[in-house]
């Protein structure tokens, strides 16, 4: 009897486990085949800026309730609250109730709510949510249907394409973000260098100068494992002139990836970047909290355009903190790394999509943009940026970095590039490859194989 019970219990447990896996596995492929086909469809989607099928009118008389959700910190909460207040003044019949919180757990909250069709009417979304939770366009409204309310011409086609999933403009991009170099020019000057590095040769020369004049502890650039992956992609794309992933397939051969890994190795060998063992031995989880960065021993980072203030304020002497130039590694293309940082969508469960669209337009194109400023990054909407600048609500350093990134980058980002299987800092493929390479556990050949296997694994799981 006892045996039977324990068998039964074990069976029940395996069944629940299997059930858990089953749904995940079976839903994923469906999800991404849609995503793949949508990337193909995007080019037409944006050009056919379909006019709304029927004219909409904002209801200004009947009482209407809208909900909105976002994540962020104190200053963002405050900006949104003020903007909503202004919106309610403009449309006294509309009440907007917000829900907001910190980023941690927010995705779980929203994905659960979306699964139950209980998402707030207007939702601040992360870019990959569109692909993850609404691959067939079943969760978010196609905003092109409301183009008479939201002025969609304020966004570039590239930005809109990135938010077009399953041939449906599921969100408007709030802001675009990308990676750029930041330099601590005080250290560079000590090493006798006056200009920010703009070429590969400049980097190598800086590495030499740092080692000779300042000592072995000084490096012109410090990058973590994920930064290395981004920098390598950057290098490869500009040298070979093709995107890292296109049509859900990695476009690079093993030899080409080996070339990219050798490039990272050459930075280590020439004392441009510290090796991973050196960085890990220093024992910090992010560069802005490291003593080496604070004291100026690491004199450069390759970071988000939205992040400079954090790194700048961490420095003991921040007078030399400078937004660098993107570096041209090849002639075929510029390469680089930029993506939609977040977007704003209307859920399908929204009862008043017209008024929700009016709220979005108010926040990102209209008066609200002046209040929001750069709280959610530099506004991607032209009109929004103009009114935010007019109101002096944009951080100049972030704007400088953002402008440089967006003017330079010419390659689209694969939506699965940041998949946690690849990016995870403990057991992600990128970590394995770049730490393994730096620790000399793998030679470039092996590392390239592991990387390509990992990437195609993620892509085919999403195909």
Partner 1 sequence: MKLSTAHKIGRFFQYFVLILVGVIMIYPLVWMVGATFKSNAEIFAGIGFLTANPTLQGYIDAVTQNYGGDISIWRAFLNTYSFVIPKVIFTVISSVIAAYGFSRFKFKGRDMLFGIMISTLFLPQVVLNVPQYLMYNSFGWINSPFYLPLWVPTLFATETYFVYQLVQFMRSIPHDLDEAAAIDGCGPVKILYKIIAPMLSPSLVACGLFQFMWSCNDYMGPLLYVQTPSKYPMSIFVKLSMDADSGFNWNRILALSLISIIPQLVVFFCAQDAFIDGISAGAVKG
Q: What is the secondary structure of 252-271 as a DSSP string?
A: --HHHHHHHHHHHHHHHHTT
For 414, phi and psi rounded to 5 degrees? -70, 130
Instruction: Give the bridge partners for 169, in sequence order.
Output: 164
Binding status of residue 282 toward partner 1 by CB under 8 A = no
Looking at beta carbons only, is 106 or 226 nearer to partner 1? 106
Q: What is the secondary structure of 101-170 as a DSSP string?
A: E-STTHHHHHHHHHHTT---SEEEEEHHHHHHH-TTSSSB--GGGGTTTS-GGGS-HHHHHHTEETTEE-
Residue 211 near residue 193, CB atoms below 8 Å: no
The residue written with tokens 């309610």 in the block is 88
Q: Which of 48, 53, 75, 253 binds partner 1 (CB under 8 A)?
A: 75
Interacting residues with partner 1 between 16 and 45 (CB under 8 A): 16, 20
Looking at beta carbons only, is 271 or 339 nearer to partner 1? 339
Binding status of residue 46 toward partner 1 by CB under 8 A = no
Stretch that binds partner 1, among 75-83, 150-158, 242-250, 426-434 (CB under 8 A): 75-83
Binding status of residue 100 toward partner 1 by CB under 8 A = yes
Stretch that binds partner 1, among 55-63, 73-81, 243-251, 425-433 (CB under 8 A): 73-81
Q: What is the secondary structure of 199-223 as a DSSP string?
A: SHHHHHHHHHHIIIII-TT-BS---
Binding status of residue 246 toward partner 1 by CB under 8 A = no
Half-sphere exposure of 356 (CA within 13 A, CB side): 30
- The least distance separating partner 1 from the CB of residue 406, rounded to whole angstroms, comes to 18
Residue 251 near residue 455, CB atoms below 8 Å: no
Looking at beta carbons only, is 56 or 310 nearer to partner 1? 310
- The least distance separating partner 1 from the CB of residue 25, rounded to whole angstroms, comes to 15
Binding status of residue 390 toward partner 1 by CB under 8 A = no
Binding status of residue 126 toward partner 1 by CB under 8 A = no
Q: Which of 26, 313, 351, 425 binds partner 1 (CB under 8 A)?
A: 313
Binding status of residue 226 toward partner 1 by CB under 8 A = no
Stretch that binds partner 1, among 86-94, 111-119, 192-200, 411-419 (CB under 8 A): 111-119
Binding status of residue 5 toward partner 1 by CB under 8 A = yes
By DSSP bridging, strand 321-323 and strand 122-126 are unpaired
Instruction: Give the bridge partners for 96, in sequence order.
Output: 66
Binding status of residue 425 toward partner 1 by CB under 8 A = no
Instruction: Give the bridge partners for 304, in sequence order.
Output: 179
Chain residues in the site for partner 1 (CB under 8 A): 1-2, 5-6, 8-9, 12-13, 16, 20, 67, 69, 71-78, 81, 97-106, 108-109, 112-113, 115-116, 118, 120, 289, 294, 306-307, 309-310, 313-314
């Amino acid at each position: 009897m006892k045996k039977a019970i324990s068998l039964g219990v074990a069976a029940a447990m395996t069944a629940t486990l299997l059930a858990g896996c089953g749904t995940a596995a079976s839903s994923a492929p469906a999800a991404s085949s849609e995503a793949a086909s949508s990337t193909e469809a995007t080019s037409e989607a944006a050009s056919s800026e379909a006019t709304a099928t029927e004219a909409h009118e904002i209801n200004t008389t009947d009482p209407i309730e809208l909900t909105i959700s976002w994540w962020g910190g104190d200053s963002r909460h405050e900006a949104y609250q003020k903007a909503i207040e202004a919106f309610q003044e403009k449309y006294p019949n509309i009440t907007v109730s917000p829900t907001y919180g910190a980023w941690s757990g927010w995705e779980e909250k929203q994905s659960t709510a979306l699964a139950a069709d209980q998402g707030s009417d207007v939702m601040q979304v992360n870019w990959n949510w569109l692909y993850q939770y609404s691959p067939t366009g079943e969760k978010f409204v196609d905003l092109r249907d409301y183009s008479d309310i939201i002025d969609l011409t304020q966004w570039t086609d590239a930005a809109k394409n990135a938010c077009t999933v399953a041939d449906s403009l599921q969100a408007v991009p709030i802001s675009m973000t990308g990676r750029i170099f930041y330099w601590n020019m005080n250290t560079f000057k000590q090493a006798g260098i006056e200009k920010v590095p703009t070429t590969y040769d400049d980097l190598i020369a800086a590495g030499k100068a740092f080692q000779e004049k300042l000592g072995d502890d000084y490096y012109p650039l410090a990058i973590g494992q994920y930064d290395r992956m981004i920098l390598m992609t950057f290098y490869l794309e500009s040298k070979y002139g093709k995107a890292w992933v296109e049509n859900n397939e990695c476009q690079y051969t093993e030899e080409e990836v080996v070339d990219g890994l050798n490039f990272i190795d050459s930075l280590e060998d020439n004392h441009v970047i510290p090796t991973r063992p050196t960085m890990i031995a220093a024992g910090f989880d992010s560069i802005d909290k490291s003593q080496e960065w604070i004291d100026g021993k690491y004199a450069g980072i390759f970071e988000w355009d939205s992040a400079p203030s954090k790194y700048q304020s961490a420095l003991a002497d921040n007078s030399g903190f400078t937004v660098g130039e993107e570096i041209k590694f090849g002639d075929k293309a510029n390469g680089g790394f930029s993506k939609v940082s977040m977007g704003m969508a209307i859920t399908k469960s929204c009862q008043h999509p017209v008024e929700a669209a009016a709220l979005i337009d108010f926040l990102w194109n209209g008066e609200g943009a002046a209040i929001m400023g750069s709280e959610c990054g530099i506004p991607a909407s032209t009109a929004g940026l103009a009114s935010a600048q007019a109101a002096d609500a944009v951080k100049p350093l972030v704007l400088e970095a953002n402008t440089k990134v967006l003017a330079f980058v010419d390659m689209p980002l694969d939506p699965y590039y940041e998949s946690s299987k690849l990016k995870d800092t403990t057991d992600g493929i990128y970590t394995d490859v770049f730490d393994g390479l730096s620790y000399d556990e793998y030679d470039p050949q092996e590392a390239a194989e592991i990387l390509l296997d990992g990437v195609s694994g993620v892509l085919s799981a999403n195909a």
